[in-house]
Amino acid sequence: MTLIPPREPIAIVRLDDLSASVELSRALLAGGVGIVEFTLTNRKALDAVENVREHLGDHMIVGAGTVLDAESARSAILAGAQFLVTPVLAPEVIDCGRRYGVPVMCGALTPTEILSAWQAGADFIKVFPARTFGPAYIKDVLAPLPMLRLVPTGGVDAHNCRQYLEAGAYTVALGSNLVNPRKVSEGDWEGITRAASQVVSACRD
């Protein structure tokens, strides 16, 4: 299994246009972000997974997000996804990931959902939307459940990611606060690299 390293931020790419997925990934990598997730909300997401694996496969960990069912999970794995992410508790996606030896980051929010995802075999728990309760919630959940790898997502940015990590989060995932749609559409790769560098510095310092 590909293991997502602790404290290594994950870039969530949820864009209408993925034609520059390789350039975007290079820009993220230049800033120190080596894990990227392309969400299946875009029908070209699996093409992006394939392209980035082909061009940067030795340097980046590439996953598929918003995976809702076993069929989508299998398609993502066949396209080269090295990890799967769900926005909700989705046991069939966990089962598919385990069958193929691909880690699954399962979405959950309440303590019951979080524990259920772990008991179902999820490798990581995506606490979503994290902005609902903030970093203190991560600390509170981990107090009775310290064995969990929690990955807060939703509202995470360079200013609060360190707080989530200090609260016990395994790592964090960032969407538009890192992969800014305007910067991507303008081809502002230097801006993306700077944003990535800021997030990495905040997470590691």
For every residue of 78-100, DSSP letters joined together read HTT-S-EE-SS--HHHHHHHHHH
Tokens 């290079």 correspond to what residue?
A: 26
Q: Which of 113, 126, 186, 190 is catalytic?
A: 126
| Separation CA 77–CA 103 (nearest Å) | 10
pLDDT at 132: 92
Express each pLDDT in 15-28 by its tens digit.
Answer: 999 999 999 999 99
Q: Does pLDDT of 192 surpass 50?
A: yes
Residue 204's pLDDT band (cuts 50, 70, 90)? confident
Report the candidate in 189, 185, 157 with the shortest Cα–Cα distance to residue 172: 157
* 183 annotated active-site: no
Express each pLDDT in 50-68 by its tens digit.
Answer: 999 999 989 999 999 999 9
pLDDT at 1: 45
pLDDT at 2: 54
The CATH class that applies to domain 10-204 reads alpha beta
Q: Which of 8, 23, 37, 139 is catalytic?
A: 37
Domain-wise residue ranges, the chain: 10-204
Residue 3's pLDDT band (cuts 50, 70, 90)? confident
